[in-house]
Structure 1
Amino acid sequence: MRRLPVTIAAALTATIVLAGCSASTSPKDGDAAAGDGPEALNIGNFLDITSWDPALADIGFDGPYLSAVYDSLIALDADGKPVPSLATKWTVADDDLSIELDIRTDAKFSDGTAVDVDAVIASLEHLKEGARSSEAYTHVAGFSKVDDDTVEIELTERDDTILYLMGLGRSYVMSPSAIEADSLGKEPIGSGPYVLDSGTSVPGAEYHFTRAADHWDADTYDFAELSIYPIMDATARHNAMLSGQINVQYGDVANMAQAEEQGWNTASRVSGWAGLVITDHTGKKSEPLGKLEVRQALNYAFDGAAILAAVGSGAGVATNQVFPDGSEVNDPSLNETYAVNMDKAKKLLAEAGYADGFEISMPMSPVFEMWKPSAEQALAELGVKVTWDNMQMPDYQLNAPNYPMFISFLAMDGDPVATVSRQVTSVQWFNPEPDYAENEVLAPLVEKVQSARGDEQLDAIKELNAALVDQAWWSVWYQANNLYYSAPGIKVQPVVGMMFPTLRYITHG
């Protein structure tokens, strides 16, 4: 069966959220004592592992699986800032064309071999060529050994996103022999805090792990046992937690009251935005969308708060922005820019020369049916006549970007520079032909972001954010929350950019 792309999986997740035998090991010194929390961590994830090979894996829901068996060179803190892991520190050259990583010398792969500079370079080269992981290394010329504990990343140009993307899940280190044997997809060999127990695991149903001996960061990963269960059905996942099979789950807002009755801990944070993705801002595919007044009219036509309440049970925030709510770039005052006003929307449409509306074709898939009634009602009232082209979900990601406009749910990033790159400037499945450079307002602001540094860069991104809202680059309706339930004694720290956080963010507490 074809697996869900992470962005489409996110949309399906939004639909759900908003509408065996475990292998054991003896606890080490420093393990949670009785009363401090459970010794076994049993996770109810939403999706199965995409691939045990980090070069082929998605980031979204793969985090718990991959972070169990692999160490990353760089990790992220709760706010999306890069922090040390296997790389104890890094230095960016004054000319921004190289990065030196200092590699720790006390890590070992599960096959007993040492994690050394040669292994790190082999992993980085594998990731650079990966179908998915290569996104972090698009501006990398190569990797070289400086000395026995230092790797240099050589860049073709300045790259302000590489460290963030590496920390997000694109810098896992793998056994060189496993890379050469092309066996990582079936038998992951890393230096992570746990080792996959293939004998007791059932692919697609349950995965059990034994604790790695003498892991260099054992204090961070202090659960003596680990199991992960991919359970897509929200009811089944909730029942698994009620029965005690799992003690952490990707939650459903409909179960909030029962979660409180059970005394479970609750954690939530915005994860992605729902709305209309506009791929044609120049009018090449659909002449009306090339006019600012038309795009602004589309924004005024939708009541994001009402859609969030109806579809999302209020679990999120109504906003016009793609920068995460609560982040340093998101400006709450911009959320009222397009307060729903159908009269104003129709007036703008008339000013653009479309007093009688216009016709457009849009794709539709069962995954997005929950948003269709709201879209149909608003667009029909505005005078936009839509022909819906129905297709099954696996074809949606392939075909939707060929349309001038489509409904989607896109994952967000915690890093503001990465948000500019992924949402605006770089080629993505949902943005196959970025056209910001043809917009006389946005082009110079993007250039300003790409050339500035530090606080000046942050200020430039804030200016760009305001301009993106004003230019109605999308019709954003709301940002949806990811929700997690955990049993007493277990704490989950959500991270923007990860649909399910990696294991370092699931702790006793």
Structure 2
Amino acid sequence: MKLTRTLTAAFAAVALALAGCSGGGQTTEASSSQLVLGNNGDVLTWDPAEMKEGAVIHYAEAVYDPLLRKTPDSTIEPNLATEYEYNADLTELTLKLRDGVTFSDDTAFDADAVRVNLEARKKGAGSASEAARVIERVEVVDKSTVKLHLSEPSPGLLAGLATYLGYMASPKALAAGGIATTPVGSGPYLLDAGNSEKGVRYTFTSREGYWNRDAFPFETVVIRPYEEFTARYNALTTGQIQFMYGTPDMVPKAKTDGLTVATVPGEWQGIILQDRAGKVSPALGDVRVRQAINHALDRKAILDTHYGGLGQVSTQTFNPASEAWVPSLNERYPYDPAKAKELLTAAGYPDGFTIKVSFSEGFMSPLVPIVAQYLGDVGITVEQVPVNGFANGGLETLKGQPAFMLSFSTNIPAWTDVLNKLTPTSLWNNFQYTDATVTRLLKEIPAAQGDQQAALYKELNTHLVEQAWFAPIVTQENVYLSKPEIDVTMQQAQLMPSLRFFAPAK
């Protein structure tokens, strides 16, 4: 398959769209006291229990403080919880809480507030819900101490408490039921509703008396959602925003335009073959078909051309710096159309078959036709099913599709990826599929530690690759573009660097 011509045309279109965007002449919103971020999309809800993992983290971090927090290398450290300690068998986690913290409605932050929040997360349907399931009971030991009683050890619990599970909202606001539309948190900023417009601009002003002001140097933060990359880039070069998540093809022009380009190993892109039991697409129920799909993809050609070499070919869905990563697995499915056809024939599909592959329009649109052409070369006809952005119901549409393409974050610890994609109740396992090996390993991994746990993670990863639960293409270098007037510290294993890692340029 010839990939160059297809992508050259696509890149030329992008270049034409971006040409003339430099310089601009529009007045920037930015100043040394204001940070203006371009976001991948709108915020659907302000309820931490319903928020979905991804770029929405900037909205959350503006108004909610987490119990713990992540360093740039994803090490966990204290935040609203000043100390944390497990018991010997890892089934109780005790948190000592920071004194003197209040929510923006002047409600006190204390142990009971933590209890109310964690119980609310257990009832939600967002990214926090999987991490919260393991919490059987939240015991209020005293005003400044809570003890989480767990049904079993959970390697991802601390990371969860550093993000959506740990975001603290006012218990008074949670009880009143308006948290979805009006955020009330203990975070560094307040949503300025009068200077905000849904889907266009969200303005946050510094909260007086916030306990950790030095970590958030900007007096005002503005978040402007753009679901379309070209519009976001245009906004950056014309000074309407100062930061955005970019794409590899933007890098050469961004450097010419005087923007700061930073990268960090991050997301994997490819196909989630979620109908592994063949309920909707019977062919996917045969592991040989899923393996054929993997052999049909020329990952190296796609990496070099579509991603500009920013990343590495990959057959696995974990973070390269995590304990689950097995470098040799990336050689498991070399590009081999003849092998793919052989597997399809053995599975009873000598003439191929048709499969629906859905995707969120905009972000994945350039990649889907490339994948469709490779699969078509071995007899698999892809019926492309574009869906609306998640802000317009796209997430619900994906749930019933046998396969879909998105860009998926990879995490440290690897257990976060387990909770996101591998359990029967995971957000990205909508067909609730599992098998005996995965079920066993998901029991054994939390109970192990150190080298033993790492070995079990690697066993899990190897099994997933052999059984072709997914058809990854690359683990890409996430691309971030910013104006030179701000400094941004890159962060491992998180789609967007936390707001704490933005500062005026020195």
**What TM-score range do you get, normalising by the shorter chain?**
0.7 to 0.9
Give the residue type in structure 2 aligned to 1:423: K
Residue 149 of structure 1, CA deviation: 0.7
Q: Residue 102 of structure 2 corresponds to which residue in structure 1?
A: 108
Structure 2 spans left out of the alignment, 5+ residues: 1-12, 19-25
Q: Residue 432 of structure 1 corresponds to which residue in structure 2?
A: 430
Give the Cα separation in 2 of the matches to 1:73 and 1:16.
42
- Any conservation in 1 of the 2:424–2:433 contact (CA below 8 Å)? no
Q: 2:463 aligns with which of 461, 467, 470?
A: 467
Query: Within the alignment, does 1:488 sit opposite 2:501 as a pair?
Result: no
Q: Residue 167 of structure 2 corresponds to which residue in structure 1?
A: 172
- In structure 2, relative to structure 1, the CA distance for the partners of 1:190 and 1:16 (3 Å cut) is farther
Give the Cα separation in 1 of the matches to 2:254 and 2:340.
42
Secondary structure of 2:211 counterpart? coil
Q: Residue 380 of structure 1 corresponds to which residue in structure 2?
A: 376
Deviations 1:96-142 (A, max 9, x none): 33211110002222233432222222222222222324332112222
Give the Cα separation in 1 of the matches to 2:247 and 2:341.
38
- In structure 2, relative to structure 1, the CA distance for the partners of 1:477 and 1:391 (3 Å cut) is closer
Give the Cα separation in 2 of the matches to 1:345 and 1:16.
33
Alignment of 1:205-354 (within 5 A): 205-282=200-277, 288-350=283-345, 352-354=346-348
Q: 1:95 aligns with which of 74, 89, 102?
A: 89
Q: 1:457 aligns with which of 445, 453, 458?
A: 453
Structure 2 length normalisation: TM-score?
0.83
- Any conservation in 2 of the 1:279–1:404 contact (CA below 8 Å)? yes
Give the residue type in structure 1 aligned to 2:426: Q
Q: Residue 145 of structure 1 corresponds to which residue in structure 2?
A: 140
Q: Residue 415 of structure 2 corresponds to which residue in structure 1?
A: 417
Give the Cα separation in 1 of the matches to 2:183 and 2:315.
42
Q: Residue 21 of structure 2 corresponds to which residue in structure 1?
A: none
Give the Cα separation in 2 of the matches to 1:212 and 1:366.
36
Alignment of 1:78-93 (within 5 A): 78-93=72-87
Give the Cα separation in 1 of the matches to 2:28 and 2:365.
39
Q: Residue 197 of structure 1 corresponds to which residue in structure 2?
A: 192
- Any conservation in 1 of the 2:359–2:404 contact (CA below 8 Å)? no
Residue 475 of structure 1, CA deviation: 1.7
Give the Cα separation in 1 of the matches to 2:336 and 2:355.
24
- In structure 2, relative to structure 1, the CA distance for the partners of 1:227 and 1:384 (3 Å cut) is closer
Give the Cα separation in 2 of the matches to 1:60 and 1:16.
24
Secondary structure of 1:425 counterpart? coil
- Any conservation in 2 of the 1:22–1:200 contact (CA below 8 Å)? no
> More displaced, 215-224 or 279-288?
279-288
- Any conservation in 2 of the 1:397–1:430 contact (CA below 8 Å)? no
Query: Within the alignment, does 1:52 sit opposite 2:46 as a pair?
Result: yes
Residue 357 of structure 1, CA deviation: 3.9
Deviations 1:356-375 (A, max 9, x none): 24424324457255344333
Deviations 1:464-486 (A, max 9, x none): 22332233232211223432222
Q: Residue 350 of structure 2 corresponds to which residue in structure 1?
A: 356
Give the Cα separation in 2 of the matches to 1:78 and 1:210.
25
Deviations 1:28-61 (A, max 9, x none): xxxxxxxxx9332221222122222222222312
- Any conservation in 2 of the 1:74–1:167 contact (CA below 8 Å)? yes
- In structure 2, relative to structure 1, the CA distance for the partners of 1:213 and 1:364 (3 Å cut) is closer
- Any conservation in 1 of the 2:115–2:139 contact (CA below 8 Å)? yes
- In structure 2, relative to structure 1, the CA distance for the partners of 1:247 and 1:395 (3 Å cut) is closer
Structure 1 length normalisation: TM-score?
0.83
- In structure 2, relative to structure 1, the CA distance for the partners of 1:238 and 1:281 (3 Å cut) is closer
Give the Cα separation in 2 of the matches to 1:282 and 1:251.
36
- In structure 2, relative to structure 1, the CA distance for the partners of 1:456 and 1:369 (3 Å cut) is same
Secondary structure of 2:45 counterpart? coil
Deviations 1:442-492 (A, max 9, x none): 555444424321231012212322332233232211223432222235332
Query: Within the alignment, does 1:370 sit opposite 2:360 as a pair?
Result: no
Secondary structure of 2:412 counterpart? coil
Give the Cα separation in 2 of the matches to 1:355 and 1:199.
59
- In structure 2, relative to structure 1, the CA distance for the partners of 1:423 and 1:390 (3 Å cut) is closer
- In structure 2, relative to structure 1, the CA distance for the partners of 1:314 and 1:187 (3 Å cut) is same
- In structure 2, relative to structure 1, the CA distance for the partners of 1:240 and 1:404 (3 Å cut) is closer
- Any conservation in 2 of the 1:60–1:497 contact (CA below 8 Å)? no
Residue 302 of structure 1, CA deviation: 0.9
Q: Residue 72 of structure 1 corresponds to which residue in structure 2?
A: 66
Give the Cα separation in 1 of the matches to 2:440 and 2:359.
37
Residue 325 of structure 1, CA deviation: 3.2
* Percent of aligned positions that are identical: 32
Q: Residue 501 of structure 1 corresponds to which residue in structure 2?
A: 497
- Any conservation in 1 of the 2:314–2:472 contact (CA below 8 Å)? yes
> More displaced, 222-231 or 375-384?
375-384
Deviations 1:359-395 (A, max 9, x none): 2432445725534433333333323355x27464367
- Any conservation in 1 of the 2:359–2:406 contact (CA below 8 Å)? no
Alignment of 1:116-131 (within 5 A): 116-131=110-125
- In structure 2, relative to structure 1, the CA distance for the partners of 1:206 and 1:307 (3 Å cut) is same
Deviations 1:396-439 (A, max 9, x none): 64455545444444333232122233332342343234444245
Give the residue type in structure 2 aligned to 1:376: A
- In structure 2, relative to structure 1, the CA distance for the partners of 1:366 and 1:48 (3 Å cut) is closer
- In structure 2, relative to structure 1, the CA distance for the partners of 1:23 and 1:170 (3 Å cut) is farther
Give the Cα separation in 1 of the matches to 2:307 and 2:267.
12
- Any conservation in 2 of the 1:221–1:503 contact (CA below 8 Å)? yes
Q: How many residues align?
A: 478
- Any conservation in 2 of the 1:276–1:474 contact (CA below 8 Å)? yes
Q: Residue 12 of structure 1 corresponds to which residue in structure 2?
A: none
Residue 86 of structure 1, CA deviation: 0.2
- Provide the alpha-carbon RMSD of the alignment: 3.3
Give the Cα separation in 1 of the matches to 2:467 and 2:483.
45
Residue 286 of structure 1, CA deviation: 5.2
- In structure 2, relative to structure 1, the CA distance for the partners of 1:339 and 1:493 (3 Å cut) is farther
Give the Cα separation in 1 of the matches to 2:143 and 2:28.
39
Residue 329 of structure 1, CA deviation: 3.2
Secondary structure of 1:44 counterpart? strand
- Any conservation in 2 of the 1:168–1:498 contact (CA below 8 Å)? no
Give the Cα separation in 2 of the matches to 1:189 and 1:395.
25
